[in-house]
């Protein structure tokens, strides 16, 4: 049951395409063999597994869902369960992952309070609260991170990893992607299988030459950063735009391309409100973080050198 609990967590950080529930169920055994530590099983026996399972399932559904405001209702549950996950050394990597995603729930809650619901038409079911536009998202996220100090690990890892990004001809400022992905905690693990500073999924890690066995290289800062930089360069070579690149890093290349084709769009703003809920917030969150930490606008970042 716990293997299913963990694989049913959000796939929003997945560089791989999100899986359907049937696919998840079929791959449960293989996933458990590759990702699940038996110590986690033992530690989580003290945690309300049903509540954790429900939270992770709801997060998956709503992160991958259509509407940002739907995430707001999970805020209190996540805040309640976070200390339980932080209470065991075996589950702290998952707590680190969840902690970095509380911001999404808080911002969604802010939108819930500020975006007026659609008018109810007689005889019709209530319509969902519309998604905020990309300009609104950028403004809110800029306010969200404006006074926030850098994560504790940033002081050690930013100067150490900027040369890694530069060596792969990617703007060194993108090292701050780790603040959004893991809050600079190299041991952070997503229950969906992503790991490390830049939350690489297993298939993406292998794609860029990282080993998962016997030791998981994703948990080593330099290899994780190297693979992330290479993947960002590959995505930018394809989409020629940093916002679209980040959207693809978060939601998957296929998801972004399908939306560009469907809406005959050529920019992030042209598809923003149609992306998965987390991705709608992920891109402006990264933008705001770069502005706060480096004083640079995402649109001003140079394209990777060839």
- The domains located in the chain, with CATH, are 2-300 (1.10.530.10)
Query: What pLDDT is stored for residue 52 in this prediction?
Result: 72
Assess whether pLDDT exceeds 90 at residue 268. yes
pTM (two decimals): 0.85
- Residue 43 — pLDDT band, cuts 50, 70, 90? low
Beta carbons of 248 and 256 less than 8 angstroms apart: yes
For residues 205 and 223, give the distance between their C-alpha atoms in angstroms, rounded to a whole number.
9
For residues 22 and 26, give the distance between their C-alpha atoms in angstroms, rounded to a whole number.
6
Which ranges in 146-220 belong to alpha helices (H)? 154-167, 177-182, 202-207
Choose the weakest-confidence range: 11-15, 220-224, 234-238, 297-301. Answer: 11-15
Using the structure block, give the residue that is written with the tokens 């990702």.
35
Q: Which two tokens stand for residue 255?
A: 């998801």
For residues 277 and 44, give the distance between their C-alpha atoms in angstroms, rounded to a whole number.
29
Residue 296 zone, left/alpha/beta (φ > 0; ψ -120 to 50; rest): beta
Assess whether pLDDT exceeds 50 at residue 31. no
The residues, ordered by sequence, that sit 6+ positions from 84 with a Cβ below 8 Å of its Cβ are 46, 47, 48, 52
């Amino acid at each position: 049951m716990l293997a299913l609990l963990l694989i049913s967590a959000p796939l929003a950080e997945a560089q791989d395409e999100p899986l359907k529930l049937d696919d998840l169920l079929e791959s449960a055994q293989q996933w458990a063999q590759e990702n699940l530590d038996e110590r986690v099983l033992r530690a989580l026996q003290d945690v309300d597994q049903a509540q954790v399972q429900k939270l992770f399932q709801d997060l998956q559904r709503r992160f991958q869902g259509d509407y940002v405001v739907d995430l707001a209702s999970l805020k209190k549950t996540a805040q309640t369960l976070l200390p339980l996950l932080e209470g065991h050394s075996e589950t702290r990597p998952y707590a680190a992952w969840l902690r970095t995603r509380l911001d999404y729930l808080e911002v969604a809650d802010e939108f819930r309070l500020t975006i007026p619901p659609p008018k109810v038409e007689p005889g019709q079911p209530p319509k969902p609260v519309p998604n905020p536009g990309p300009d609104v998202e950028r403004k809110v996220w800029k306010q969200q991170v404006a006074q926030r100090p850098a994560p504790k690990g940033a002081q050690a890892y930013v100067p150490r990893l900027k040369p890694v990004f530069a060596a792969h001809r990617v703007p060194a400022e993108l090292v701050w992607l780790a603040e959004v992905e893991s809050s600079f905690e190299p041991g952070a693990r997503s229950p969906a299988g992503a790991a490390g500073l830049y939350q690489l999924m297993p298939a993406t890690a292998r794609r860029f030459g990282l080993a998962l066995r016997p030791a998981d290289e994703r948990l080593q800062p330099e290899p994780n950063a190297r693979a992330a930089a290479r993947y960002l360069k590959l995505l930018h070579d394809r989409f020629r735009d940093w916002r679209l690149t980040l959207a693809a890093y978060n939601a998957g290349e296929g998801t972004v391309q399908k939306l560009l084709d469907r809406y005959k769009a050529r920019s992030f703003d042209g598809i923003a409100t149609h992306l998965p809920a987390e991705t709608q917030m992920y891109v402006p969150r990264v933008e705001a973080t770069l502005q706060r930490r480096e004083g640079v606008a995402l649109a001003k970042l140079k394209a990777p050198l060839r």
